[in-house]
């Protein structure tokens, strides 16, 4: 272990190097903090109390608002003291709504090595979310893998299977695909539900799902629905 070494230089030499007089140096040592410095020190104590009480989540605007309930202070002054003393608010992780609820009945991946040669041979579906003033909304999209065209969609407030069912029924009415269609998705409970499987079985479609934990297959679904 390497010990830190401290080197002390004579005051005379230090003053000469800094081009200040020794009398000025000693006068500076005896001088008391200004009124502004005292007020800053007191305000800093209050800032630290508020900052720590809120587990470091408050930035200068929120710290200022809380302090202003009992004292007079400006946000710029609070921000300066926080910056000078390394008080930086922790950033919240961006909230991302869940779009996939694991299902218990899954299908194998039937399109892994399949290249569609025409429309309505392979449809790919996924659920994403859309931020609106009134809150999050969920969007189920069905795309034709060959043309990359949206063939079905539904915007809703919940992640119920009906979201996908409505999008699927709209696509079936518009496109009227022949038997043998491959319908590919992730392993979400919406896609493994009977409500989705039934209309697919009626038209003789093949249900296909991405493998568990396979990020590349998951990316395929997300890419096609983006």
Q: What is the pLDDT of residues 8-31, one digit of tens each?
A: 677 777 777 777 787 777 776 666
CATH superfamily, with its number, for domain 122-224? Ribonuclease H-like superfamily/Ribonuclease H (3.30.420.10)
All structural domains of the chain with their residue ranges: 11-84, 122-224
Q: What is the reported pTM?
A: 0.53
| Residue 159 vs residue 96, higher pLDDT | 159
How many Cβ atoms from other residues are within 10 Å of residue 197's Cβ? 17
Per-chain mean pLDDT for the chain: 82
Q: How far is CA 12 from CA 6, 8, 129, 130, 224, in A?
A: 18, 12, 70, 69, 75
Using an 8 Å Cβ cutoff, are 65 and 46 in contact? no
Residue 58's Cβ-count burial label (10 Å; 0-12, 13-18, 19+) is: buried
Pairing of strands 150-156, 135-144: antiparallel
Residue 55 in this model has a pLDDT that exceeds 60: yes
Helix (H, G, I), strand (E, B) or coil at 100: coil
Q: Where are the alpha helices (DSSP H) in 19-161?
A: 22-30, 35-53, 60-67, 75-84
Q: In this prediction, what percent of the chain has a pLDDT beyond 70?
A: 81
Task: State residue 140's pLDDT score.
Answer: 93
């Amino acid at each position: 272990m390497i010990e830190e070494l401290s080197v002390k230089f004579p005051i005379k030499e230090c003053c000469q190097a800094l081009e200040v007089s020794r009398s000025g140096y000693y006068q500076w040592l005896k001088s008391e903090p200004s009124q502004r410095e005292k007020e800053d020190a007191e305000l800093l104590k209050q800032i630290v109390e508020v900052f720590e009480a809120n587990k470091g989540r408050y930035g200068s605007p929120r710290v200022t608002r809380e302090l202003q309930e009992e004292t007079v202070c400006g946000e710029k002054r609070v921000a300066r003291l926080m910056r000078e003393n390394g008080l930086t608010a922790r950033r919240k992780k961006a909230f991302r709504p869940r779009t996939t609820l694991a299902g218990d009945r899954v299908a194998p991946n039937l399109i892994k090595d399949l290249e569609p040669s025409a429309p309505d041979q392979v449809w790919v579906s996924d659920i994403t979310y859309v931020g609106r003033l009134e809150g999050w909304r969920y969007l189920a999209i069905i795309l034709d893998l060959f043309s990359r065209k949206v063939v079905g969609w539904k915007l809703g407030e919940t992640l119920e299977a009906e979201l996908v069912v409505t999008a699927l029924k709209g696509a079936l009415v518009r496109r009227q695909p022949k038997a043998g269609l491959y319908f590919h998705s992730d392993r979400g409970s919406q896609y493994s539900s009977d409500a989705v499987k039934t209309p697919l079985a009626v038209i003789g479609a093949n249900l296909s799902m991405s493998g568990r934990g396979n990020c590349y297959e998951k990316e395929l679904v997300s890419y096609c629905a983006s």
